[in-house]
Amino acid sequence: MSYWDPERQQWVHGDLPPPPPYAPGEVGVSEVAGDPGGTGGRDTTRALVLALVTLVVFAGIGVGMWLLVRDDDEEDRSGPGPVVPSATESGWPSTTPETTSPPTSPPTTDWSLPSTDWPTPTPTTDEPTPGLGAERETPSGYTRVEDPAGFTVDVPVGWQRTSRSDGVFYTSPDERRLLQIFTLEDPEGTPYESLEATESHLAQTMAGSGYRLHGLRPLGAGDAAELQYAYDHPRFGARRVIDRAFTGPDGVQYAVLVAGPTSSWPEQETIQETALNAFCPTGHCGS
C-alpha cells in the first residue's frame, strides 16, 4: 500500500498513518527536504514521483491516493544526484542518470477544501497518451531520458534526478519546481478513485491549512484522471500542483505530478504535458 505523506513530503509505502499530532498550521515548520525527502527503515516500508505532482491506500476503502506531501526532509540525505545532461540533436542524453538520494526540494501540505474550478467534465480525446515514447519529438529545452526506474520521459534540461523506492524526482536547479513519477503498488481502484480518495483524505486531515482544490476530473483518454490543487509552502510560498493518474500500457498505475510556484502557472501544465507525451514504460515505447 502506498500513500503521499504530508508530513514527510513524499510518497511512501505502507499502512496509512494516523492523523498528525500537530495543528495543520504547523506542517513544514522544520523545512524538511522537498517532495523526494524521506526516512528509511520506519514501521512501514518507506522505501512516487509525482508528486506534485504526489499515493495512499485509503484506510477501509482500499484505493490508492495520490497527493503531494511535505517537501522538507533533512534526514537520510546523501547529497544531490546527477544533473540531467543537455539535450543532443536527437533529444536523447548521452548517459543514463544513476539513482541517488534526493536533494532539497519543494512543499509542505497545509490543506483546506474549497470548491473546484472546473465545470462538469466533458470527456475529450486530445489529452497526451502515455506509451508512444520514442515516436514523439523532444521539444527544445527538454531532454529525453531512459530512466533506470523503467520508463522513458522528457524532462527540462538541467533538472536533477533523485530516486527512492517511493518514486523518481526531477528537480529544477533552484528547487522550486519538480516532476515526480510514481508507481501505485497493488491498486484496488481506478486512477480517478485514487485521486478521489486523496481528496477525501485531505479534507479530513488537513482542512483549514491553505489547501485549495482547483479541480478533480476524469479525462477522455482511457482511465486517466487529473487533480489540480494549490497550497502555501513556508519556504517557497504559494504553490500550484497538477497530478495525472493513469494505467500504463503495461497495466501498472502511474502518477505524473508537477509542482511549482503559483505565479508560474500554467508552466506546470506544459512540463507535465511534455513528460506525458514521451512517457512510456520500458518495453512499451514506440519504435
Residue 282 is classified by DSSP as: T
Q: Which of 210, 267, 186, 274 is nearest to 3 (CA)?
A: 186
* 287 domain-assigned: no
**Whole-angstrom Cα distance, residue 160 to residue 36?**
11
**For the chain, what is the domain count?**
1
Q: What pLDDT was estimated at residue 197?
A: 83
Q: What pLDDT was estimated at residue 221?
A: 67
* 17 domain-assigned: yes
273 phi/psi in degrees, rounded to 5: -60, -40
Q: What pLDDT was estimated at residue 256?
A: 96
- Cβ distance 18 to 3 under 8 Å? no
Q: Structure pTM?
A: 0.62
* 123 domain-assigned: yes
* 201 domain-assigned: yes
Residue keyed to cell 513556508: 234
Domain that holds residue 197: 2-281
What are 120's three cell numbers?
462538469
Q: Three-state DSSP class for 24?
A: helix
CA-based torsion, 93, 152, 4, 178: positive or negative? positive
Per the document, the length of the chain is 287
* 177 domain-assigned: yes
Residue 223 is classified by DSSP as: T
Q: What pLDDT was estimated at residue 164?
A: 82
* 118 domain-assigned: yes
- CA 235 vs CA 32, 104, 196: distances in Å: 10, 11, 28
> Which residues are within 8 A (CB) of 92 and not within 5 positions of it... i.e. 6 or more apart?
138, 143, 144, 146
* 95 domain-assigned: yes
**Which CATH number fits the domain that encloses residue 86?**
3.40.1000.10
- CA 239 vs CA 29, 69, 104, 222, 263: distances in Å: 16, 12, 16, 29, 8
* 19 domain-assigned: yes
Q: Count CB atoms within 10 A of the CB of residue 114.
A: 11
Blockwise average pLDDT, block size 10, the chain, 287 residues? 53 52 28 35 33 31 40 38 39 33 36 36 47 73 96 98 90 97 84 86 69 91 89 88 93 94 97 97 84
> Position 244: which residue type?
R
